Amino acid sequence: MRRGGSGIDDAPQLIRHRTDACTLVGQLVWDASQRRDHTTAKTYYEQSADLARHLRDTTLEAHALLRTCYVALYGAHDARAGLALAEQAAEIAERTSPALSGLALLHVAEAHAMLGSTPDCERALSRAERHLDHADGSDAAAGLVSPTQFGRLAGSCYLSLGDHRRAETLLPARRRSYGTGESHARSCWGTLRSPVSVNAMSRRRWPALPKPSPSWRPHAEVEA
């Protein structure tokens, strides 16, 4: 709290910190459970999304939704639920974060690939590429994107679709990352979160085609 203030002006920043914390704890819980504790992770992500909506911060909300999408796609293996969440995240982030919207569209593409729809998958990949090309230094979610991410996820899509030759042309960057000493675990989809140079990313041509609280009362926190 700022000295001499009522504390009300600080409430949005405190809620923003809590939003980030809920997303992080959900992520840690899921990883620590070897991606088996879907319920607890989703509870934290849902809290984060609710807090973000209270703040009217669409980037934070979309990030929480995208994390929930990961649980659906890669934990529960529910491609349809994951698709709906990824599409929602992409739409919500579209006006404020091309990086996050592009990342969400990559997972839209992967969900379509899991469902066996090549045309829908390729349309989503094309949209993702356009959004990622527009990411710049003002994008709050730029650190969520890595220069190899498009090729890695696009390659994964084509593997799911059974087009192994196409996948092979998109995955060399992933193999090279192993040669630099980066572990397989850090190369997995859920760990590509390290900040990258946004200018370098924008210049790069992407390859071708504790217990969660049971409830939250934002107004009570502001008034306290």
How many domains would you assign to the chain? 1
Domain membership of residue 216 (yes or no) is no
Task: Name the residue type at position 98.
Answer: P
Q: Tens digit of pLDDT for each residue in 173-184?
A: 444 443 333 333
Q: How many CB atoms are closer than 10 A to CB 21?
A: 14
Checking if the pLDDT of 41 tops 80, the result is yes
**pLDDT given at position 5:** 46
Q: pTM for the full model?
A: 0.72
CATH of the domain at 134: 1.25.40.10
Mean pLDDT of 32-44: 90
Domain membership of residue 193 (yes or no) is yes
Measured between its terminal Cα atoms, the distance across the chain in Å is 12
Structural Rg of the chain based on CA atoms: 18
Domain membership of residue 212 (yes or no) is no
Domain membership of residue 224 (yes or no) is no
Domain membership of residue 80 (yes or no) is yes
For residues 140 and 62, the answer to whether their CB atoms sit within 8 Å is no
For residues 170 and 151, the answer to whether their CB atoms sit within 8 Å is yes
Domain membership of residue 213 (yes or no) is no
Domain membership of residue 47 (yes or no) is yes
CA–CA dist 80, 118 (Å, integer) = 15
Q: Tens digit of pLDDT for each residue in 111-170?
A: 999 999 999 999 999 999 999 988 887 888 888 888 888 999 999 999 999 999 999 888
Range of the domain at 65: 12-207
What does the chain come to in residues? Answer: 224
Domain membership of residue 86 (yes or no) is yes
For residues 20 and 59, the answer to whether their CB atoms sit within 8 Å is no
Task: Name the residue type at position 141.
Answer: A
